[in-house]
């Protein structure tokens, strides 16, 4: 299965919610299916990443949205898959047994249309070998749930609280950037029992075909990801860090990371781990390059561990105006 875990520099190993990660890299939900797709790519190894977020999973199977579902944009892409998945029972009974949990950590992505569905999916994943769960309250391309949960702090907190009651596994709440005050939402999720935060999900966007004057995406709107959103995502991580940091709640920073420099910026801004998504579609082996670049930076600056870099941004004493977040 590729290179051995010990080939990674020791400085890349990091702790996240009590879990030991091989490196700070996390493969994001929806980009690697249910964890097996990239094992077929020559040169790819699960040992190169700290964790893999599995595809969004609902209580019952979903067919997803009608096509088109993906559209390339300048410096990014729109997607509106619509949470197509075989349902939680199939994932737990058929897919999880095929994954090698000795190679990396696996994180389930809990999705739903009601608070009760989120809770039930959490309960079923709790009775499985999954390492942690990501609560997907911010999917911008489903007609039920999704945005309405992620953009409302009260609803976000209700979902987190319901899931918290049903598991002791680490809960990671995936925050939406499409809201007025992401820091306030983060605070409410932490108070409801979230162990960590994923910052951010995709921005809502659309594309139009001028010739037909119709939306390109079958769902009309979709989630925008890729390098185009990186500066926006970086600020969101910094904003959430102001709330999460004092509580010791770690962040997975994500949004347009394609180079080691990108990953380092997110770590310095306050992310304890960094998510890789859109870049995988055009460079499946990008994680090796990211790991090498991060390790070189740590060595050059005589930094012993990734943890020692997290949240080290020097703003010259300037304070962030959290009320302007979003």
Q: What are phi and psi of 48, to 5 degrees?
A: -75, -10
Alpha carbon distance 91, 108 (integer Å): 9
Beta strands in the chain (DSSP E): 14-16, 19-21, 25-27, 51-57, 70-73, 76-79, 105-110, 132-136, 171-174, 196-199, 203-205, 208-209, 214-215, 222-225, 251-254, 273-276
Instruction: Tell me what pLDDT residue 317 has.
Output: 80
pTM of the predicted structure, to 2 decimals: 0.94
How much is the pLDDT for 167?
A: 98
How far apart, in whole angstroms, are the C-alpha atoms of residue 77 and residue 223? 8
| Among 177, 76, 171, CA closest to 123 | 171
Is 139 assigned a catalytic role? yes
Indicate the length of the chain as a whole number: 326
Distance from the Cα of residue 132 to its chain's centroid = 12
Question: Looking at residue 308, what is its pLDDT?
Answer: 97
Q: Under CATH, to which class is 5-64+83-203+225-324 assigned?
A: alpha beta
- pLDDT at site 35: 87
Q: In what order do the strands lie in the sheet with 70-73?
A: 70-73, 76-79, 222-225, 203-205
Distance between CA 77 and CA 278 in Å, rounded? 8
pLDDT at 322: 55
Strand 222-225 relative to strand 203-205, pairing: antiparallel
Q: Are 140 and 204 in contact (CB under 8 A)?
A: yes
- Taking residue 321's Cβ as centre, other Cβ atoms within 10 Å add up to 8
- Angle value at C-alpha 65, between 62 and 71, nearest 5 degrees: 135
Supply angle C-alpha 71, 61, 225, rounded to 5: 25
What integer pLDDT is reported at residue 326 of this predicted model? 41
Catalytic residue among 31, 139, 189, 287: 139
Where are the chain's structural domains? 5-64+83-203+225-324
pLDDT of the chain, 326 residues: tens digit per residue: 444 444 799 999 999 999 999 999 999 999 999 988 887 888 999 999 999 999 999 999 999 999 999 999 999 999 999 999 999 999 999 999 999 999 999 999 999 999 999 999 999 999 999 999 999 997 644 555 555 667 889 999 999 999 999 999 999 999 999 998 999 999 999 999 999 999 999 999 999 999 999 999 999 999 999 999 999 999 999 999 999 999 999 999 999 999 999 999 999 999 999 999 999 999 999 999 999 999 999 999 999 999 999 999 999 887 666 544 44
> Helix H segments across the chain?
88-90, 115-126, 147-150, 153-164, 182-192, 230-244, 260-269, 279-282, 286-300
Residue 319 is predicted with a pLDDT of 67
């Amino acid at each position: 299965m590729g290179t051995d875990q010990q080939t990674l520099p020791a400085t890349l190993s990091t702790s996240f919610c009590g879990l030991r990660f091989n490196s700070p890299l996390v493969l994001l939900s929806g980009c690697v299916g249910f964890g097996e797709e990239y094992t077929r790519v020559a040169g790819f190894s699960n040992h190169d990443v700290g964790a893999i977020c599995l595809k969004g999973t609902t209580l019952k199977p979903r067919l997803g949205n009608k096509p088109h579902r993906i559209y390339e944009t300048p410096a990014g892409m729109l997607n509106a898959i619509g949470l197509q998945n075989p349902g939680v029972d199939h994932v737990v009974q058929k897919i999880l047994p095929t994954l090698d949990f000795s190679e990396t950590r696996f994180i389930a992505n809990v999705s739903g249309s009601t608070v009760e569905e989120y809770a039930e999916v959490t309960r079923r994943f709790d009775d499985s070998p999954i390492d942690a769960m990501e609560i997907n309250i911010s999917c911008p391309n489903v007609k039920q749930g999704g945005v309405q949960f992620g953009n409302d702090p009260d609803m976000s907190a209700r979902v987190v609280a319901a899931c918290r009651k049903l598991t002791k596994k680490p809960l990671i709440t995936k925050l939406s950037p499409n809201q007025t005050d992401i820091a306030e939402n983060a605070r409410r999720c932490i108070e409801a029992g979230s162990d960590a935060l994923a910052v951010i999900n995709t921005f809502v966007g659309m594309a139009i075909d001028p010739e037909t004057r119709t939306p390109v995406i079958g769902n009309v709107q979709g989630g925008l990801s890729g390098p185009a959103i990186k500066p926006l995502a970086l600020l969101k991580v910094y904003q959430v860090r102001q709330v999460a940091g004092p509580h010791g709640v770690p962040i997975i920073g994500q949004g347009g990371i394609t180079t080691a420099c990108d990953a380092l910026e997110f770590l310095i801004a306050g992310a304890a781990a960094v998510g890789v998504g859109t870049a995988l579609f055009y460079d499946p082996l990008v994680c090796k390059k990211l790991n090498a670049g991060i390790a070189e930076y740590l060595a050059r600056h005589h930094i012993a561990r990734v943890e020692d870099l997290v949240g080290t941004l020097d703003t010259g004493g300037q304070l962030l105006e959290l009320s302007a977040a979003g």
